[in-house]
Structure 1
Amino acid sequence: MIRGIYTAASGLGVQQARLDVLANNLANASTSGFKADGVIQKPFPQLLLVEQQNLGPVEIGPRWRYVGATNQGAAVTGVVTNFSPGPLKPTGKNTHLALATANTFLVVQTPGGERYTRDGNLGIDSEGYLVDSRGNRVLGEAGPVQVKSDDFRITDGGEIILPGKGPAGRLRIVQFADLNLLTKTEDNYYTAPAGSAQPAAKPEVRQGYLEGSNVDPAASMVQLVSAVRSYEANQRLLQAQDQLLDLAVNRVGALR
């Protein structure tokens, strides 16, 4: 019965993680450049074997013997991001950009350091610098890009052209050899280890477009309903195990 309680509790933890991730995906279904997350889960015995292997060479004493494995439910091993591109939506605004090349990112200067994003919903701050939707300045190859007004053009390669003045710099667009190096943070940003971001070989920028989220709302709703039902099933199992334990302690064990 105790093992049954642990099994049901571990199932509740997994379904809670799924609910949190799915709810966040649905909340960002209309966020430009947002990439959906998914939960990876494994049976507990498999996780236990992995942990044992990481302990290194440990001698088993004469009092130890192998008794097999027991399934104590499941556990979350991580949350992964789906980096597949979202649909490009025309807006006609000069300050809206979309990266048509998969796995490329704009670089933004935030108070916490450089961040990477696919969100091209840009604007212009009071000093004429190109900023993202959170007011952080977008970086070019030579630093923050000053355009003064929204009367500018961006080439497919990311070069910024000002009317009557010519080139004003080029957007800093980067790519990663391994997308697993990226860590999603708040505000639709990503961080990565120093030196892992490399200049994109052939960036493709579409001015006047925004990349939509790659969240599938219909599929996410189906998964959300499934997670809720699984959560409720684990709740009922946990309550049943608790009732059995109560009977075992207070009735079966009672002396009459």
Structure 2
Amino acid sequence: MIRSMYSGISGMRVNQVKLDVIGNNIANSGTTGFKTQRVRFQDMISQNMGSASGPSRNLGGVNPRQVGLGVQLAGIDTVVSQGNMQPTARNLDVAVDGNGYFMVARGETTFVDGIRIYDTADPKDFQLPTDTKGLDIMFTRDGSFTLDHQGNLLNSDGLRVLGYSLIGSTDAKDKPEDVDAESMPVGGTGELNFVDADSKKLHASGDLRTLKIPETIKVTTAGGTEDKRITSFSIEKNGVIKATLEGGSKAVIGQIAMASFKNPAGLEKMGGNLLKSSPNSGNAIIRAGVIPKSENPDDLNPSNEAGYGDMLQGVLEMSNVDLAEQFTEMIVATRSFQANGKSISTGDEILQDIINLKR
């Protein structure tokens, strides 16, 4: 009799957790990029009332006789399916149509060299190094970005968005043969930019940096160097930020970085639409920057662009919470909670009858 009461307690406990998770899912049904969670149960250890025995000459086999001792939490899983896309017509809103994650960071950003994610001697190594230059790097699906007065690209909480500076040489002797003079890199606000550049011909560094969208960039022309104001910009599907300058010329400012994981369901939620890697999510695999495509198979040409998805400008990914499913699960959890409570009250009534036998 006592066993049934304790089983009822365990059932009420896990169903309370399930209701907590359902309530959180419903509360975040409008949260950008939120991934719903589900609760799984498993039975607890059973008490053996009789062991199993095999068939003998005179008798057949006997199954084990066991009494279960309740239920316990098996896991709380994150469902990482794609959420619906919501157009916003805002040029700083970006959604990921695929499996990738944006990278944002907190910390000192005055470093010069950036965070090297791969060595040209080993093009398959696209993971974050141990030394992240003091930056606390996190991941998110929330692409509702903003700018500060310095032009830094930020998330809603002021964390800086990481990406690449597109680099090249202003020296004519380093000019690639397949890039015409109008596509040569030019300096701008401490970084090298490409004017009127074909994205297939861009060189990108393997260094993660915080991204900026400045008001002006320096453009080197035949007549000298001059500052040109950025009138607008667009974000390509591969994350390349392409600015339109006064006069109609184009300049590539940088590229937004993306990360993916072997097991994205293993990421830990940190609040604020932020995630961090865990021992079971695996290390972040970083998408390399845009690089030139070589026709020579012997040329080192590291690239891992596949499997991250496309960036969609002017769109936000909504929560993947299905309210109909959540309310149905809420009814099931509520009834299960009530049933377990009834088993406790029924056990109490029987115990009361046993106590009354003495009277």
Structure 1 match to 2:84:
87
Q: Which residue of 2 aligns with 1:39?
A: 39
Structure 2 counterpart of 1:158, from 220, 239, 248: 239
* 3-state SS of 2:68 partner: coil
In the alignment, structure 2 segments of 5+ residues that lack a partner are: 48-63, 108-134, 165-207, 216-230, 288-304
Which of 315, 327, 332 aligns to 1:226? It is 332
Deviations 1:2-53 (A, max 9, x none): 111110011111111110111111111111111110011111138x9xxxxx
**158-167 or 216-225: which moved more?**
158-167
Structure with the largest fraction of helix:
1
Q: C-alpha displacement at 1:251, in angstroms?
A: 2.6
More displaced stretch, 180-189 vs 169-178: 180-189
Structure 2 counterpart SS, 1:70: strand
SS of structure 2 residue aligned to 1:77: strand
How far has the Cα of 1:185 moved from its partner?
A: 2.5
- Amino acid in structure 1 at the alignment position of 2:157: R
3-state secondary structure, aligned to 1:232: helix
For structure 1, which segment, 17-26 or 234-243, has the greater mean C-alpha deviation from structure 2 after superposition?
234-243
Q: How many residues were matched structurally?
A: 233
Identity of aligned residues (%): 31
Map residues 15-94 of structure 1 onto 2, 5 A cutoff. 15-45=15-45, 69-94=66-91
Structure 2 CA distance for aligned equivalents of residues 12 and 126 of structure 1:
53
Q: Distance in 2 between matches of 1:247 and 1:79?
A: 40
Aligned to 2:141: 118
Between structure 1 and structure 2, the one with the greater Rg is 2
Structure 1 distance, partners of 2:149, 2:335, is 50
The answer on whether the counterparts of 2:259 and 2:284 sit within 8 Å (CA) in structure 1 is yes
Name the TM-score, length of structure 1 as normaliser: 0.82
1:236 aligns with 2:339: no
- Name the TM-score, length of structure 2 as normaliser: 0.60
Distance 1:175 1:244, change over 3 A: same
Distance verdict in 2 for CA 1:8–1:30, change over 3 Å = same
**8 Å contact 2:80–2:265 — kept in the other structure?**
no
Structure 1 unaligned segments of length 5 or more: list them. Answer: 49-66
Structure 1 residue 104 and structure 2 residue 72: aligned?
A: no
Residues 234, 242 of structure 2: 8 Å contact kept: yes
Deviations 1:91-127 (A, max 9, x none): 11001001012x2101111469221111112212343
Is 1:45–1:69's contact at 8 Å kept on the other side of the alignment? no
CA distance in 2, matches of 1:148, 1:179: 34
